Amino acid sequence: MRLRHIKGAEEEIAASPYVIHEPEQQKGRWHEVFGNHNPIRIEVGMGKGKFIMELAMKNPDINYIGIERYSSVLLRGLQKRAELEIPNIVFMCIDAQEMAEIFAPGEVDRIYLNFSDPWPKDRHAKRRLTSDRFLAVYDKILKQEGIIEFKTDNQDLFRYSLESIPAAGWTVDACTFDLHHSEMAAGNVMTEYETKFAAEGKPICKLTASRRMKEEAPAYNK
């Protein structure tokens, strides 16, 4: 995916009061950043931030962290944040592989993965956010009862994830190949991409996963 670089994006991010710089220094101390001990939920690859900022507004008793590795994309989110009063959210410009150096074991309550790059070529499979390499990172930072929520429009990536997640020792607790026409649609907050795809009538896939191993796998809602 080719992204248009915005001149001065890095400088604006460096000056933003909404961005946590040198986040590894907050490892095990994120409650001090927010000034409370509320649960922490993160979105990996937040894009322009519509999804996570809407969640933060709806849930003031939960703390949110938006993670975006591309400065030009994060900048768009910061510009939107400046127009809103949402004290329970901060942002980081990092690569998701670094998260185990930033969060202590059990410090994160939930991880959202929304419309991530499918990396369709087999040789790039390890770059997918539902690959065993990334699942190992999530395992280090999530609470024991922590949850992953994953949404995508790419059915190949979704089918891959339905295999890779259990193979890594996780349980797929619920899943659907058509989110907006399923029971999982209750309380759904849409991302920018999701809004666009929904308008086009394109089905959205979603799953939730945890590390609590269960005897029975869920039935797929097609």
Q: What is the pTM of this model?
A: 0.90
Q: Distance between CA 81 and CA 127 in Å, rounded?
A: 29
pLDDT-derived band at 26 (thresholds 50, 70, 90) equals very high
Instruction: Grade residue 214 by pLDDT with cuts at 50, 70 and 90.
Output: very low
User: How far is residue 105's CA from residue 146's CA, in Å, rounded to a whole number?
Assistant: 11
- pLDDT 10s digits, 94-129: 999 999 999 999 999 999 999 999 999 989 999 999
For residue 217, the model assigns a pLDDT of: 47
**Three-state DSSP class for residue 18:** coil
pLDDT in tens, 40-62: 999 999 989 999 999 999 999 99
* Average pLDDT of the segment spanning 13-38: 94
Does 213 score more than 60 pLDDT? no
Task: State yes or no: is 117 an active-site residue.
Answer: yes
The two three-digit tokens of residue 35, written as one number: 């000034």
Q: Which is catalytic among the residues 117, 122, 132, 173?
A: 117
* Closest by Cα among 162, 157, 99 to 128: 157
- CA–CA separation, 98 and 146 (whole Å): 19
Q: If pLDDT is split at 50, 70 and 90, which confidence band does 6 have?
A: low
Q: Looking at the domain 9-210, which fold is it? A: Rossmann fold (3.40.50)
pLDDT digits (tens, 9 = 90+) for 147-161: 999 999 999 999 999
Q: How many of the other CB atoms lie within 10 Å of CB of 138?
A: 24
User: 4 pLDDT band (50/70/90 cuts)?
Assistant: low
Domain residue ranges of the chain, discontinuous segments joined by +: 9-210
